[in-house]
Structure 1
Amino acid sequence: MSDTVLDRYQAFRTRRYLQNEARYAHYLPGWRTRSRRRLLVWILVASLVALAASSIFILVGPEWAPLTWLPGAILMSVSWTTLQIVTGRRSDAPADALDEWDLERRNAARSIGFAITQGAVTVPALALVWATTFTDDPRLALGGGFIILSGLLVGICSPGIILAWTAPVDEPDEFPTPTTHSPEKGSA
Structure 2
Amino acid sequence: MADIGLLERYQDFRTRRFLRHAERYRHWLPRWRTQKRRRILVVALAATLVYLATAAAVCLTNMRTGPLLVASAVLAFVTTRAVLQIVSGRQGDAPRDALDEWEIQQRDSARSIGLTVTQSLTVLPAMFLIVASGYDLDIDRPNLAYAGGLFVVTTLTLGACVPTMILAWTRPDPDTDPDDHQEPA
TM-score, L = length of structure 1? 0.86
Structure 1 residue ranges, 4+ long, deviating more than 6 angstroms after superposition? none
Q: Distance in 2 between matches of 1:142 and 1:127?
A: 13
1:148 maps to which of 144, 147, 152 = 152
2:107 is aligned to 106
- Any conservation in 1 of the 2:63–2:143 contact (CA below 8 Å)? no
**DSSP-derived class of the 1:26 partner:** coil
Q: Distance in 1 between matches of 2:68 and 2:40?
A: 26
Which is worse superposed, 32-41 or 56-65? 56-65
Q: Distance in 1 between matches of 2:177 and 2:131?
A: 50
5 Å matches for 1:7-46? 7-46=8-47
**Aligned-residue offset at 1:173:** 6.8
Q: What fraction of aligned residue pairs are identical, expressed as a percent?
A: 44
**Aligned-residue offset at 1:130:** 2.5
2:142 is aligned to 138
2:168 is aligned to 164
> Any stretches of 5+ residues in structure 1 without a counterpart?
175-188
Output the amino acid matched with 1:122: V
**Aligned-residue offset at 1:72:** 1.3
**DSSP-derived class of the 1:71 partner:** helix
5 Å matches for 1:57-96? 57-96=58-97
TM-score, L = length of structure 2? 0.87
